[in-house]
Structure 1
Amino acid sequence: MTEILTSDEMRSLERAAIASGRASGLELMERAGAAVVEAIAEAWPAFRPPAEAGRHAMILCGPGNNGGDGFVVARLLRRRGWKVTLYLYGEADRLPPDARANHDRWRRIGTIAPLPAAPDFSTADLVVDALFGLGLTRPLTGFGPIFAALAAAGRPVLAIDLPSGRDADARADSAGWPSAPCSLAVTFHREKPLHAQLRAEGIGVIVKPIGL
């Protein structure tokens, strides 16, 4: 049976890896972003080289380390020939240190715009949801129009770890929380409790190693 980790257990593993010197937080973030880019090619053959050249990715980055993963994905996709539009929810100077470092790396090659209330996703070949990851323990407010616009656009959506608005530990009281639509969730090291539920809903899940 595949081992399932709670969000707390996953964070503990990451902290232990960093404390032991096996990997820095920046290294783990880089590995996560690279794993997402690998998963894109696995899940969507049309996005494999050379067909990916000129494709348009819209990446939604949040205020934590999930957003940091999104900055890495943006940089790696840009390197592979994608056009990238990146939106940030929150303030850059309030990002955690590793996420801020990857924000700054992206700024050297690309632009960042504030996340609009209802973005136009119609030109995107792929949307990457890097808004909120494993740490979300409350319903999101104010994201209804964004999630509705994303659903209406009908574009493929890849969620880093899990769709924003969902609870990684699948607690019963989170069932009615507003959440982003999702075509594929890419998570790291082990599945979390929510992923079985996503599979039951017909949402793909890919688990990628990151050297923990």
Structure 2
Amino acid sequence: MKTSGQTGSSETITSDEMRALEQAAIASGRVTGLELMERAGRGVVEAIFEEWPSLAEGERRAVVLCGPGNNGGDGFVVARLLSEAGWVVAVFMFGNSETLPPDARSNFERWVTVGDVADIELASQVDYAACDLVVDALFGIGLTRPITTPVLRDLFKTISLAEKPARVAVDVPSGVDSDSGLPPEGGSALRADLMVTFHAYKPCHLQDAGAGLARAPAALARHVVVKDIGL
């Protein structure tokens, strides 16, 4: 797996340590949760264009998959920024927008002034051969339970087998434990080409993917980038 520190730290921290850093920064008044989410979304878009410069040219199409937590909030920021850059963006959400955390809810509301949000079940109907990019902002770090929901398992398989779109995971591919680098036993994971994480690598980013591949073929991405979000 290829790693690039970019503007972030070269240290490695666990998901719990990352959340503690974010909470401490917010509690100190140095930054708000909304600012961190905006920086994360911008970091993802920067990393996409750094990895695939050709995607900055012409009319492009993206699918953004947003989850029920702050990772989903990052996804709404990415969707808005891509739309502002002239992309045609389709957003699908797993979960209920009414129960989103406050910062994620704010970015959901910003996005719906720009475009629609469809139920995740409809994402399986997308012609991925006509898409340039899929952004996985479903779960991110801290997931410890296996993903067994049939609609997600089927969607993961569909996207993982699609040849054309570049697949980008926000933090880690959904379904992968960011500390162990493995999907919890019996769970599915979504294949990625690029992982964009924040502040520092998580343990899975620096592991030999061999152990994980035995249980979830191609679950981890071939390339990971760390983006600084000012922590």
TM-score range, shorter chain: over 0.9
CA distance in 2, matches of 1:47, 1:25: 29
State the match for 2:201 in structure 1: 191
Match for residue 6 of structure 2? none
The verdict on how the C-alpha distance between 1:202 and 1:138 changes in structure 2, with shifts beyond 3 A counting, is closer
Could you tell me the percent identity over the aligned residues?
52
Deviates more, 1:29-38 or 1:114-123: 114-123
Q: Is the 8 A contact 2:94 2:138 kept in 1?
A: yes
Q: What does 1:44-63 correspond to in 2, within 5 Å? A: 44-48=52-56, 51=57, 53-63=58-68
Residue 197 to residue 119, structure 1, CA distance change in 2 (3 Å): farther
Q: Is 1:130 matched with 2:137?
A: yes
Which residue, out of 139, 153, 164, partners 2:146? 139
Equivalent-residue separation in structure 1 for 2:190 and 2:202 (angstroms):
18
Between 200-209 and 182-191, the greater mean CA deviation after superposition: 200-209
Cα distance in 2 for partners of 1:197, 1:98 equals 31
Query: In the alignment, is the contact (CA less than 8 A) between 1:198 and 1:204 conserved in 2?
Result: no
- Aligned match of 1:148 in 154, 157, 160? 157
**Counterpart residue number, 2:170:** 160
TM norm structure 1: 0.93
Distance in 1 between residues matched to 2:39 and 2:208, nearest whole Å: 24
Shift of 1:175: 6.4
Number of residues of Structure 1 aligned to a counterpart in Structure 2 = 209
The 1:172/1:163 distance shift into structure 2, 3 A limit, reads closer
Contact 1:199 1:205 (C-alpha < 8 Å) held by counterparts: no
Aligned residue runs from structure 1 range 198-209, under 5 A: 203-209=222-228
Q: Is the 8 A contact 2:172 2:178 kept in 1?
A: yes
CA distance in 1, matches of 2:181, 2:194: 21
Partner deviation per Cα, 1:186-207 (whole Å, 9 max, x = no partner): 0000000111237666610000
> How far apart in 1 are the matches of 2:68 and 2:20?
20
Give the partner amino acid of 1:167: D
The correspondence of residues 1-212 of structure 1 with structure 2, limited to 5 A, is 2-48=10-56, 51=57, 53-116=58-121, 118-120=124-126, 121-142=128-149, 143-154=152-163, 155-170=165-180, 174=184, 177-197=187-207, 203-212=222-231
Root-mean-square deviation over aligned CA pairs: 1.9
Q: Please, which runs of 5 or more residues in structure 1 have no aligned partner?
A: none
TM-score, length basis structure 2: 0.85
- Whole-Å separation in 1 of the counterparts to 2:90 and 2:182: 35
After superposition, the Cα gap between the structure-2 partners of 1:119 and 1:191, relative to the gap in structure 1 and judged at 3 Å, is: farther
Does structure 1 conserve the Cα–Cα contact (< 8 Å) formed by 2:68 and 2:138? yes
